């Protein structure tokens, strides 16, 4: 309490001196003194600041500013180096991705020199690598932001222009990487589709090869080649016949050719019939009684000027097209008849049954012995087009053999039914010619 009173007294005395005297440039301070001390309120003068101390303080301030500027310059240099490195990385990404090529076999080609070192060749690995690269770029951006925060704490100012530039560059890099990833996904999808198509094509080729080998193995035991056999039906019954194991597709034109030998009378019967559900007479070749050979399509009839009941081999072909129902008939390579309006604009229906030697009243059965074929048949082939005259003539004169593209005459394609029906070796083609 006494100390406080002494302090107030000292402050009052100094105020009186200040109000009564002019300012002499000196400054005074007051302090508390103990009760036993001198109560005269001694005054301690503050030391005057001389010129040398002011220069020293300024010099220290300049040195601090210089160090701050150097630190800021070093920070900017590191950030520019990071930008250059990111730009180089993106360029290498683009050049490495463009170098990737896909071979014809649907597999990845031989590995080339990896110019980037961290980009794999497989699409899945490439996508993973790009994702890791993107994460690395984001980590670097975070490091730069942390450096900015440390620079702000230390008093250095991070340039806003450089920060905006880094953000724009990173945004562009992210867009380009996303575009690359999308392109790789599309390429992966295309590669998968191409591989699947190639696999299906290969499997189809292999299946056809296996089927052909199987046909050769089954049909080549007693015959020189799978097509060098004949079907022999020696009796007119309703239980002797042959059946083609394959069916017909939908057709708008066809050509049916065969070698035929018969001396049956009256009429050779039915060498060929094709029936489908709802129409047992879709395609029929028949000669019964004293009538001429007839061609039936969808139960519509055209009479053919063919004569084959002399007990010798003859090569016959019948072609037809749905356009105007045009038909042509060949015997031994020569066109003997033509006509039109036979089931015009009617397509041949698919999925039926082909019977050799019997006429079908229902699909695949209910045969009539009076319409059965008696004789021998061979090389019954069917095409889904109208053959040219020179193609028919070349087969008739034994200069070539053309298997059908829809039905081909093979031992494995013909089943024989009934005791007395046989598949036998076929004579040489020259021996089958009419003048042989």
Q: How many domains does the chain have?
A: 2
In a domain, 320, yes or no: yes
Say whether both 257 and 395 belong to one domain.
yes
pLDDT digits (tens, 9 = 90+) for 60-97: 777 777 777 777 777 777 777 777 777 777 777 666 65
The pLDDT assigned to 176 comes to 83
| Final residue of a structural domain among 219, 253, 287 | 219
Say whether both 213 and 240 belong to one domain.
no
Say whether both 246 and 215 belong to one domain.
no
Between 21-30, 52-61, 239-248, 316-325, the lowest mean confidence (pLDDT) is in 21-30
| Final residue of a structural domain among 190, 219, 248 | 219
Phi and psi dihedrals of 22, rounded to 5?
-75, 155
Q: Whose CA is closest to 133, among 72, 194, 78, 90?
A: 90
Say whether both 248 and 340 belong to one domain.
yes
The pLDDT assigned to 51 comes to 59
The pLDDT assigned to 33 comes to 57
CB 414 within 8 A of CB 244: yes
Please determine, for residue 26, whether its predicted confidence score (pLDDT) is greater than 80.
no
Say whether both 236 and 360 belong to one domain.
yes
CB 283 within 8 A of CB 382: no
Q: How many beta carbons lie within 10 A of that of residue 15, not counting itself?
A: 10
Residue 29 pLDDT level (bands cut at 50, 70, 90): low
Say whether both 285 and 389 belong to one domain.
yes
Please determine, for residue 270, whether its predicted confidence score (pLDDT) is greater than 50.
yes
pLDDT digits (tens, 9 = 90+) for 193-245: 888 878 777 877 777 676 656 555 554 445 667 788 999 999 999 999 999 99
Say whether both 271 and 410 belong to one domain.
yes
Q: How many beta carbons lie within 10 A of that of residue 326, not counting itself?
A: 17
Range of the domain at 299: 229-425
DSSP secondary structure letters along 401-419: ----SSB---GGGEEEEST
Say whether both 188 and 326 belong to one domain.
no
In a domain, 145, yes or no: no
Say whether both 298 and 393 belong to one domain.
yes
Between 27-36, 324-333, 411-420, the lowest mean confidence (pLDDT) is in 27-36
In a domain, 292, yes or no: yes
In a domain, 114, yes or no: no
The pLDDT assigned to 88 comes to 77
Say whether both 277 and 393 belong to one domain.
yes
Residue 259 β-bridge partners: 315, 378
Average pLDDT over residues 292-296: 94
Average pLDDT over residues 128-157: 66
| Final residue of a structural domain among 219, 238, 259 | 219
Residue 35 pLDDT level (bands cut at 50, 70, 90): low
């Amino acid at each position: 309490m006494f100390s406080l009173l002494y302090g107030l007294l000292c402050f009052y005395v100094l105020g009186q001196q200040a109000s009564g005297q002019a300012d002499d440039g000196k400054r005074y301070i007051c302090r508390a003194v103990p009760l036993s001390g001198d109560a005269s309120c001694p005054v301690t003068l503050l030391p005057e600041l001389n010129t040398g101390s002011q220069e020293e303080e300024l010099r220290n301030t300049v040195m601090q500013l210089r160090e701050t500027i150097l630190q800021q310059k070093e920070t900017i240099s590191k950030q520019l180096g990071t930008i250059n490195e990111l730009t180089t990385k993106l360029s290498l990404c683009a050049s490495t991705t463009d170098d990737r090529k896909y071979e014809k076999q649907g597999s990845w080609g031989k590995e080339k020199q990896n110019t980037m070192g961290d980009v794999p060749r497989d699409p899945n690995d490439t996508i993973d690598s790009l994702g890791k690269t993107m994460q690395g770029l984001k980590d670097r951006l975070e490091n730069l932001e942390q450096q900015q925060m440390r620079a702000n704490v230390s008093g250095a100012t991070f340039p806003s222009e450089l920060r905006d530039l880094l953000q724009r560059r990173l945004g562009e890099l992210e867009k380009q990487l996303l575009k690359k990833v999308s392109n790789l996904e599309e390429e992966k999808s295309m590669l998968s589709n191409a591989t699947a198509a190639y696999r299906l094509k290969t499997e189809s080729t292999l299946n056809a090869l296996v089927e052909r080998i199987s046909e050769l193995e089954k049909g080549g035991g007693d015959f020189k080649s799978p097509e060098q056999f004949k079907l022999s039906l020696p009796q007119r019954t309703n239980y002797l016949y042959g059946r083609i194991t394959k069916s017909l597709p939908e057709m708008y034109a066809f050509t049916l050719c065969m070698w035929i030998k018969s001396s049956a009378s009256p009429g050779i019967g039915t060498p060929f019939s094709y029936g489908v559900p709802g129409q047992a007479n879709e395609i029929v070749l028949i000669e019964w009684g004293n009538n001429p050979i007839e061609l039936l399509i969808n139960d519509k009839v055209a009479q053919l000027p063919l004569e084959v009941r002399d007990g010798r081999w003859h090569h016959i072909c019948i072609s037809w097209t749905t356009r105007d129902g045009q038909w042509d008939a060949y015997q031994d390579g020569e066109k003997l008849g033509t006509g039109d309006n036979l089931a015009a604009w009617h397509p041949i229906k698919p999925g039926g049954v082909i019977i050799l030697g019997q006429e079908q009243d229902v699909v695949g059965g209910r045969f009539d012995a009076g319409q059965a074929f008696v004789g021998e048949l061979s090389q019954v082939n069917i095409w889904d087009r109208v053959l040219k005259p020179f193609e028919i003539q070349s087969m008739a004169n034994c200069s070539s053999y053309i298997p059908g593209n829809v039905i081909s005459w093979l031992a494995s394609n013909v089943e024989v039914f009934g005791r007395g029906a046989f598949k036998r070796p076929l004579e040489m083609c020259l021996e089958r010619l009419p003048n042989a």
